[in-house]
């Protein structure tokens, strides 16, 4: 484990803030808005209002113009995010109608064309990320097996294995493209996705031969929804965690439904620091009750309190002394 790296932040994932109203309808507007709040970075979705992903994949000049927008406000582009497109890489037929709304009109009604379109966008994201100097990319895995997580009647033998084999076949070429671009693919482990917890992520790793670019976007709130120990998860998967969403959760049970719990963000940051995580902490706001603009302002102030520089030496180094091997052996009576 290492404490030599420094976590970057605070950043903000702006997918939930994009709209057709200024300043949230242009890259310039949303970058300026976030910078005024004091954010140091923005995670930008692959949305035509923010970026022309095909042009970004092909043109360094265009990517330089995007970076100039960030530089003019003193902030950084943390990652590109392709959650919608990643979802469309693998769609179970039960979700065809819903997922068609995420795709452009020319591929709707054709699952094969929709999948191919999503695959091409992910390949463009790899090329664009390289041109933009990014090291991580956020996405979803898609869902072929999810409808059978709690099935009745029981699912037949080898159904899950077949689904994950197909998922691996679809993602392996994309992972290879990101490897060539020197960018990690960070799957957000999320209920409704085939990659939703540690067990499903482990299964996926075996299907892609433990591909070095198959990584994790860590969001503790999704672990809580599944009664998963989100701190122990860091201990197990810290080598694969390359991106973080700081999304809160609150206990709101009633007589008809359950709830979720508060996230201990300071403990999360301590664990990440312990393992030398040097990526970005991006606020993600999904509160259904409070004004999102208030959440963005308050979230920035809260993340400021969570940011900690790593320790450069042990706290009791002042009491230490130099010893050689002979002295060590003498101390143990050897």
With H, G, I as helix, E, B as strand and everything else as coil, classify residue 8: strand
Half-sphere exposure of 243 (CA within 13 A, CB side): 34
Please tell me the distance from the alpha carbon of residue 182 to that of residue 237, in angstroms, as a whole number. 20
Digit-by-digit pLDDT tens for the chain (334 residues) are 444 568 999 999 999 999 999 999 999 999 999 999 999 999 999 999 999 999 999 999 999 999 999 999 999 999 999 999 999 999 999 999 999 999 999 999 999 999 999 999 999 999 999 999 999 999 999 999 999 998 888 899 999 999 999 999 999 999 999 999 999 999 999 999 999 999 999 999 999 999 999 999 999 988 877 888 999 999 999 999 999 999 866 667 777 766 666 788 899 999 999 999 999 999 998 877 789 999 999 999 999 998 877 776 666 666 677 788 988 888 888 8
How high is the pLDDT of residue 2? 44
- How high is the pLDDT of residue 167? 98
Report the distance separating Cα 149 and Cα 226, nearest Å. 13
Are 221 and 258 in contact by the 8 Å Cβ rule? The answer is: no
**Contact by Cβ (8 Å): 24, 296:** no
Domains of the chain: 8-331 (3.20.20.150)
User: What gap in Å lies between CA 252 and CA 257, rounded to an integer?
Assistant: 9
**Torsion 241-166-45-302 (CA) sign:** negative
Distance CA 124, CA 129 (A): 8
* SS3 label, residue 333: coil
Query: What integer pLDDT is reported at residue 249 of this predicted model?
Result: 62
Selection from 190, 199, 253, 186 nearest residue 225 by Cα: 190
Structure-token match 């590109």, residue found = 80
């Amino acid at each position: 484990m290492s404490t030599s790296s420094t976590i970057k932040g605070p950043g903000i994932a702006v997918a939930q803030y994009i709209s057709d109203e200024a300043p949230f309808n242009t890259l310039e507007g949303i970058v300026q808005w976030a910078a005024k709040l004091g954010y140091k970075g923005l995670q930008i979705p692959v949305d035509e209002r923010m970026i022309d992903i095909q042009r970004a994949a092909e043109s360094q000049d265009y990517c330089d113009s995007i970076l100039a927008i960030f530089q003019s406000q003193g902030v950084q582009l943390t990652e590109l995010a392709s959650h919608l497109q990643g979802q469309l890489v693998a769609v179970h037929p039960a979700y065809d109608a819903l997922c068609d709304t995420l795709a452009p009109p020319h591929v709707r009604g054709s699952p094969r064309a929709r999948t191919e379109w999503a695959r091409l966008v992910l390949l463009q994201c790899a090329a664009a990320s390289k041109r933009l100097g990014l090291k991580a990319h956020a996405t979803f895995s898609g869902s072929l097996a999810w409808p059978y997580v709690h099935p009745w009647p029981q699912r037949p033998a080898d159904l899950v294995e077949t689904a994950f084999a197909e998922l691996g076949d679809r993602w392996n070429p994309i992972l290879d493209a990101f490897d060539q671009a020197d960018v990690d693919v960070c799957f957000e482990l999320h209920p409704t996705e085939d990659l939703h917890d540690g067990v499903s992520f482990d299964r996926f790793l075996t299907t892609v031969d433990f591909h070095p670019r198959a990584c994790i976007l860590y969001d503790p709130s999704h672990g809580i929804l599944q009664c998963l120990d989100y701190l122990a998860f860091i201990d197990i998967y810290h080598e694969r965690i390359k991106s973080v969403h700081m999304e809160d959760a609150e206990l709101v049970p009633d007589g008809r439904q359950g709830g979720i719990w508060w996230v201990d963000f300071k403990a999360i940051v301590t664990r990440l620091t312990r393992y030398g995580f040097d990526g970005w902490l991006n606020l993600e706001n999904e509160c259904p009750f409070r004004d999102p603009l208030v959440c963005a302002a308050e979230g920035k102030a809260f993340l400021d309190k969570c940011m900690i520089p790593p320790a450069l030496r042990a706290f009791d180094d002042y009491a230490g002394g130099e010893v050689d091997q002979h002295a060590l052996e003498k101390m143990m009576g050897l």
